């Protein structure tokens, strides 16, 4: 019996392992590992992360945590600082002239937030650690070892305000001198870092198993995200094709008649291909933080810097996708207007006017969406775009299903095209047959007349 069960469960075990290897191993739980040297640059932005909003009933375990090790194998007395900087204070690091600024001007805003026992006693944020930490020991600031995560040299607790925002992990080759002034490190700082960024306490990770190590804004399983975005985009493009075909007068339910609109399908295919190309460019630019620094430094025209919160409404691939959508809207509008002008039945013309106006709103709603999301925090922007577009697509599909349901009273407006088309073809065939019969009868009469004339002449 046990052998039978083991054989039956073997495919399930393989399936579980496949899911683990293909999806979970590709998940972007934010662990940053690497080496940094101050000889390369004065500072380095290691990661960008969106921490969840603190639960006021459980603030201790729901806040953001940054923990891990930052050490060096070279002991030369050089010091730097690791900072967790909120979005509101990071603009100084994103400026192109930041590399040329002095430490004092670069970190003047950080001094208002960070806490340091000797020089910054009024700071309220646990957002800095002196690096490198002593090898095999806790960092200097960790005076309460019981609050440090096991096998880590440091543990920082991020108190997210009422409105969630992005936070940046930055290493800077600066230190505070005896006069509490920021100075550049004279000696080279070389550190090896291995850091984790989590939502909620690492000691209570079971409370948030799906979001514990995933950034709040949208980081997660990249493979699943890509498949979902492709499926969503393809369904939207197919809906555009269906509406444009209906605007051209395609009879709903007659699949063979679609061959008459091959030009429409070809043009739609070209627009859809361009749409997907722009989507992939935008998708790559959204998930290329590290590739941007290490692989794509000479391709800045094609890949936007994700540190600047570029979304579909602020990037040139996004503008291209919106332009394609507007072209499809104009195409649909022109064809619906042509159908209304050619329609002799007033009731059907009124239906087509309402049909066109309703779905034209769906085509152009993306422009209004751009205005709405511009007023929303960048951390919530992607979720709002996803929710609103999904709701609009669902409403459009629901209306189509209602209009063309088998028991719907509106279905006959498009099915009537099939009947009228068949009647037109049948009438043409009958007319051709009558014309042929008339020609045959005329020829027969002419032959009879000629025969009678020849007989009379012989007599």
Q: What is the pLDDT of residues 349-372, one digit of tens each?
A: 888 899 999 999 999 988 888 788
Residue of 96, 93, 73 lying closest to 83 (CA atoms): 93
Please check whether residues 259 and 131 belong to one and the same domain: no
Report the range of poorest mean pLDDT among 144-153, 286-295, 379-388, 446-455.
Answer: 286-295
Given a contact cutoff of 8 angstroms between Cβ atoms, the answer to whether 309 and 218 are in contact is no
Mean pLDDT (whole number) for 32-48: 88
Cα–Cα distance measured from residue 234 to residue 247, given in angstroms and rounded to the nearest whole number: 20
Please check whether residues 197 and 302 belong to one and the same domain: no
Asked if pLDDT for residue 269 goes beyond 90, the answer is yes
Mean pLDDT (whole number) for 33-60: 82
**Does pTM top 0.75 for this prediction?**
no
Please check whether residues 235 and 323 belong to one and the same domain: yes
Mean pLDDT (whole number) for 132-149: 89
Asked if pLDDT for residue 82 goes beyond 90, the answer is yes
Mean pLDDT (whole number) for 6-26: 40
Asked if pLDDT for residue 332 goes beyond 50, the answer is yes
Please check whether residues 154 and 181 belong to one and the same domain: yes
DSSP code at position 27: B
Please check whether residues 169 and 311 belong to one and the same domain: no
Please check whether residues 77 and 128 belong to one and the same domain: yes
Q: Which helix (H) or strand (E) holds 84?
A: strand 80-86
Residue predicted with more confidence, 326 or 203: 326
Domain assignment of residue 8, yes or no: no
Given a contact cutoff of 8 angstroms between Cβ atoms, the answer to whether 44 and 171 are in contact is yes
CA 91 from chain center: how many Å?
A: 24
Q: Which range of residues forms the domain containing residue 259?
A: 222-410
Please check whether residues 272 and 339 belong to one and the same domain: yes
Please check whether residues 269 and 197 belong to one and the same domain: no
Domain assignment of residue 433, yes or no: no
Please check whether residues 186 and 288 belong to one and the same domain: no
Number of domains in the chain: 2
Tokens in use for 399? 């209306």
Please check whether residues 335 and 308 belong to one and the same domain: yes
Domain assignment of residue 5, yes or no: no
Residue predicted with more confidence, 377 or 4: 377
Domain assignment of residue 197, yes or no: yes
Across the chain, mean pLDDT equals: 75
Q: Which residues contact 194 (CB under 8 A, 6 or more apart)?
A: 31, 32, 33, 68, 69, 70
Domain assignment of residue 87, yes or no: yes
Cα–Cα distance measured from residue 328 to residue 237, given in angstroms and rounded to the nearest whole number: 10
Please check whether residues 37 and 159 belong to one and the same domain: yes
pLDDT tens per residue across span 375-390: 777 667 777 888 888 8
Asked if pLDDT for residue 313 goes beyond 50, the answer is yes
Residue of 231, 235, 255, 234 lying closest to 245 (CA atoms): 255
Three-state DSSP state, 333: helix
DSSP code at position 54: P
Q: Which residues contact 195 (CB under 8 A, 6 or more apart)?
A: 31, 32, 33, 46, 47, 66, 67, 68, 69, 70, 169
Asked if pLDDT for residue 347 goes beyond 90, the answer is no
- Domain boundary (410, 427, 442) is at 410
Domain assignment of residue 55, yes or no: yes
User: E-strand spans in 228-337?
Assistant: none
Asked if pLDDT for residue 96 goes beyond 90, the answer is no
Please check whether residues 33 and 94 belong to one and the same domain: yes
- Position 22 scores a pLDDT of 36
Domain assignment of residue 153, yes or no: yes
Cα–Cα distance measured from residue 371 to residue 389, given in angstroms and rounded to the nearest whole number: 14
Query: What would the DSSP string read from start to end of 349-406?
Result: HHHHHHHHHHHHHHHHHHHHHHHHHTTS-HHHHHHHHHHHHHHHHHHHHHHHHHHTST
Asked if pLDDT for residue 31 goes beyond 70, the answer is yes
- Position 339 scores a pLDDT of 87
With pLDDT > 90 as the criterion, what percentage of the chain qualifies? 20
Report the range of poorest mean pLDDT among 94-108, 393-407, 424-438.
Answer: 424-438
3-state secondary structure 91-152: HHHHCHHHHHCCHHHHCCCHHHCECECCCECCCCECCEEEECCCCCCCCCCCCCHHHCCCCC
Residue predicted with more confidence, 401 or 288: 401
């Amino acid at each position: 019996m046990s052998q039978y069960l083991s054989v039956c469960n073997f495919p399930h075990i393989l399936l579980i392992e496949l899911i683990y290897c293909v999806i979970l191993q590709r998940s972007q739980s934010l662990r940053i590992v690497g080496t940094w040297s101050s000889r390369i640059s004065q500072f380095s932005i290691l990661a960008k992360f969106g921490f969840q909003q603190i639960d006021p009933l459980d603030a201790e375990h729901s806040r953001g945590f940054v923990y891990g090790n930052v050490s060096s194998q070279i002991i030369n007395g050089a010091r730097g600082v690791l900072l967790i900087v909120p979005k509101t204070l990071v603009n100084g690091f994103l400026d192109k002239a930041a590399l040329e600024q002095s430490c004092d001007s670069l970190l003047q805003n950080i001094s208002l937030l960070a806490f340091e026992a000797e020089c910054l006693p009024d700071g309220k944020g646990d957002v800095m650690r002196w690096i490198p930490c002593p090898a095999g020991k806790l960092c200097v600031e960790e005076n309460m070892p019981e609050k440090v995560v096991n096998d880590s040299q440091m543990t920082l607790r991020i108190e997210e305000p009422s409105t969630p925002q992005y936070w940046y992990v930055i290493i800077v080759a600066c230190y505070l001198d005896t006069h509490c002034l920021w100075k550049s490190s004279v000696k080279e700082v070389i550190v090896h870092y291995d850091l984790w960024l989590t939502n909620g306490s690492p000691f209570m990770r079971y409370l948030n198993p799906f979001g514990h190590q995933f950034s709040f804004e949208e980081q997660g399983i990249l493979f699943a995200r890509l498949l979902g975005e492709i499926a969503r985009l393809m369904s939207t493009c197919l809906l555009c094709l269906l509406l444009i075909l209906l605007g051209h007068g395609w009879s709903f339910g007659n699949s063979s008649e679609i061959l008459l609109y091959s030009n429409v399908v070809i043009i739609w295919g070209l627009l859809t291909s361009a749409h997907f190309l722009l989507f992939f460019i935008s998708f790559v630019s959204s998930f290329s933080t590290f590739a941007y620094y290490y692989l794509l430094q000479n391709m800045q025209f094609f890949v936007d810097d994700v540190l600047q919160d570029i979304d579909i409404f602020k990037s040139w691939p996004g503008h291209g996708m919106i332009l394609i959508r507007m072209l499809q809207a104009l195409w649909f509008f022109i064809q619906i207007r042509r159908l209304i002008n050619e329609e002799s039945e007033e009731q059907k013309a009124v239906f087509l006017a309402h049909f066109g106006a309703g779905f034209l709103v769906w085509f152009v709603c993306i422009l209004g969406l751009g205005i709405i999301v511009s007023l929303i925090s960048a951390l919530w922007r992607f979720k709002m775009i996803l929710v609103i577009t999904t709701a609009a697509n669902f409403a459009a599909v629901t209306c189509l299903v209602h209009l063309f349901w088998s028991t719907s009273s509106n279905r006959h407006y498009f099915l009537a095209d099939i009947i009228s088309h068949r009647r037109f073809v049948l009438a043409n065939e009958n007319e051709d047959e009558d014309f042929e019969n008339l020609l045959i009868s005329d020829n027969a009469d002419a032959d009879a007349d000629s025969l009678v004339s020849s007989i009379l002449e012989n007599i």
